Amino acid sequence: MLFEHITSPLIWDMTLAWNPVFRDDTTLPKLHALGVSVVGLTVGTDRTNTPEVALAAIDEIEALVARDDRFVIIRSVDDVDHARKLGKLGIELNFQGTRPLGGQLELLHMLHARGLRHVGLIWNETNDAGGSSTPPSDPGLTEYGRCLIAGLERVGIIVDGAHAGHRTTLDAIDASTRPFIISHTNCDAVAPSHKNIKDELIIACAATDGVMGISGFGTYLGDPAASTQALFRHIDHIVQLVGPRHAGLGLDYVTKPDLFWQMVAKAPEMWPAADGKGIEPCRFAEHAQLSELSAMMSRHGYDEPAIRGILGENWRRVCAECWQPA
């Protein structure tokens, strides 16, 4: 990608689903060719709800890295910087939901050693940690959820509020002692949806010096075409509310849209629209749009440090603080 207004920015996308359905042989090489610096690969969700499944996914990524020197698993911000110097795509590993732990908090040390660097407390359904943003209810953060947050912070894994319900996220922010992230989300004030976060959460997350990554999911952008203008509207809402230090990228790009929409058709309750029915097919913003996004931010008066922060430096800042064991 060519960036007209800044040179060699750090491009960091915190979320890309990488379960067996969506893995392919072309996406990571494409991101590398585009100049993406870091991508967060989701190796476990509440649907792949055993440690064994998550560990098998990590095994596959380790095998990929071993045979293709364009990629490297990152465990520290020093790894990020080194990968950039070598022209490699850094891979950050994460969970969406805590069921892959199987309730075994003692696994956190081992998973951290294997490269796990952020964990979403909830996915699309309420679990043992707390409530989902998916209706009908959000009981708040549980005692297990509080113990989990303490355990994650102790080993140096970031706590993520993506997909969590409003009450659960506020509780989780209150229970956290380090910067809190919402790895992929959008703004309810721009595109009303139970999946999108309200201003109260944006302010609370920013108060921890955390970051919110904007998703490229057309439905939740409020634009089925997933235009760059829609991405900018959500980023700008965060910037106007709490400043550019707290906005980032969490595109949640879907590598195989046809398969994804088949999944939605089979389980519409997992991705409900406001009327309770399944969401309609839409586009997903792509990484190739980021150069246009950068130019759009510049035209709207964003200075170079703000643009660099949103494209990736904000994630680096949070990770530098949180990836150190407590």
Over residues 268-286, the pLDDT tens digits come to 877 776 555 668 899 999 9
Q: How confident is the model at residue 5 (pLDDT cuts 50, 70, 90)?
A: confident
Task: Tell the burial category of 262 from Cβ atoms under 10 Å away from its Cβ (0-12, 13-18, 19+).
Answer: exposed
Query: What is the DSSP annotation of 207-261?
Result: HTT-EEEEP-BHHHHT-TT--HHHHHHHHHHHHHHH-GGGEEE---B-S-HHHHH
The residue extents of the domains of the chain are 12-322
Element (H, E) at 294: helix 290-299
Separation in Å, CA 77 to CA 42, 246, 309: 19, 18, 15
Gap between the Cα atoms of 230 and 216, Å rounded: 9
Q: Can you give the pLDDT at residue 136?
A: 80
Looking at the chain, which runs of residues are DSSP E strands? 12-17, 38-45, 71-73, 89-96, 116-120, 158-160, 181-185, 211-214, 247-249
Over residues 196-253, the pLDDT tens digits come to 999 999 999 999 999 999 999 999 999 999 999 999 999 999 999 999 999 999 999 9
Q: Residue type for 157, please? A: I
Q: How confident is the model at residue 20 (pLDDT cuts 50, 70, 90)?
A: confident
Give the whole-number percent of the chain exceeding pLDDT 90: 85
Please say whether the structural domain 12-322 has been given the CATH code 3.30.465.10.
no
Element (H, E) at 202: helix 199-207
